[in-house]
Amino acid sequence: MELDQYLKINGNNMKIVLMTILLTACSGIKLQDTEPVAEVTAEPTKVSVVYSQQTITVQNGKAKYINFQTPQEDGSYALDCTEQNSPKPLKQKIPYIVKSNVGVTYYAESYFSRAKKHFCYSEGQLVLEVNVSRFPYKKEHLKVSKKKIDLSKKDLARVIRERKITSAIYKKSVPYLLFDKPFIVPLDSFITSHYGNQRIFNNKKRSQHLGNDFRAKVGVEIPSSNRGKVVFVGDLFYTGNVVIIDHGLNLFSLYAHLSKILVTEGTILNQGDIVGLSGMTGRVSGPHLHWGIKMNGHNIDGFSLAEESKKHFKSYESSL
Ligand SMILES: [Zn+2]
């Protein structure tokens, strides 16, 4: 083979080799560029949501804000709970709302609860395991005259009658939340009697104080703790003039011993709207505000609700 002919052939070979390298390189680049895009457009990602499970610890008489993942559509639902070692479901279901696959509710533990564990289910799926621990509520020993603690037949009949009225009210909460910000404590004054204090009269008769008493002279304006609907106004034996507000999802607030009620049943109140003026109506020894929270059938400590609802509306808090 002549030298110039050899170079020509090998030159052509070189061209072929170079083109091959270039094509491979180009196709390589092309593949890297297009593949991820093709994946996204060809197969849109479908995330299937499943129930999430969590374990919480709640003290008796306190509330907890709960949220969990759920495959359910937006709407109102309820959790079924059971007690450890008991197959029987608890009487009260816990209502919750679902928005964008997140279930939201408040869990309330009874003041009287001694159970070690509760299990709560949605559609048979375990979503909540509750460890109940006991809060060391204070005991007060009081000596009082017998007639001060024993009710007359007439008064007892009245108390029973009124209890029926209020328990019917507590069964008719709206199945969604009427509020969109954390609960506020109605007054910033001294607490004259804390939630949960046990009063033992004459070493035998016991009663529990299932609300918080705020020092207030007669006539102080009492604001609503949160947005809600006035579902009861009236004069009851123990509470005197009282206003009960439904905030939705079995969550109620109560303002007792008022000297004057300034709202009417059926009115939607915003947080801070004045429900009435403090006073000393009902069974009291002096003027004060008794602030109660009823949640899912239990009287719980309003301060725990105020704290827990801050977790619920974190974004609201940070925008303040
Ligand atoms: Zn009280």
For the chain, the domain total comes to: 2
- pLDDT value at residue 45: 63
Measure 210 CA to ligand 1 centroid, in angstroms: 7
Task: Extract the tokens encoding 291.
Answer: 């602030």
Q: Global pTM? A: 0.81
Pairing of strands 198-201, 139-142: parallel
Choosing from 114, 133, 152, the residue where a domain stops is: 133
Q: Tell me the CATH number at 262.
A: 2.70.70.10
Q: How many helices (H) and strands (E) does the chain have?
A: 5, 21
- The answer to whether residue 125 sits within a structural domain is yes
Measure 84 CA to ligand 1 centroid, in angstroms: 33
Q: Which range of residues forms the domain containing residue 204?
A: 139-314
Same domain, 152 and 119: no
Measure 316 CA to ligand 1 centroid, in angstroms: 31
Same domain, 166 and 100: no
- pLDDT value at residue 28: 40
Mean pLDDT, the chain cut into blocks of 10 residues (320 residues total) = 48 46 41 48 68 95 96 95 78 89 95 89 94 91 71 92 96 95 97 91 82 97 98 96 97 98 98 98 92 96 97 68
Measure 175 CA to ligand 1 centroid, in angstroms: 28
Measure 286 CA to ligand 1 centroid, in angstroms: 11
DSSP 97-113: EEETTEEEEEEE--TT-
Measure 142 CA to ligand 1 centroid, in angstroms: 16
Measure 113 CA to ligand 1 centroid, in angstroms: 21
Measure 320 CA to ligand 1 centroid, in angstroms: 32
- pLDDT value at residue 116: 83
Same domain, 146 and 177: yes
Task: Extract the tokens encoding 294.
Answer: 């009823």
The residues, ordered by sequence, that sit 6+ positions from 242 with a Cβ below 8 Å of its Cβ are: 232, 233, 234, 235, 236, 254, 255, 256, 257, 258, 261, 282
What is the gyration radius of the CA atoms in the chain, in angstroms?
32
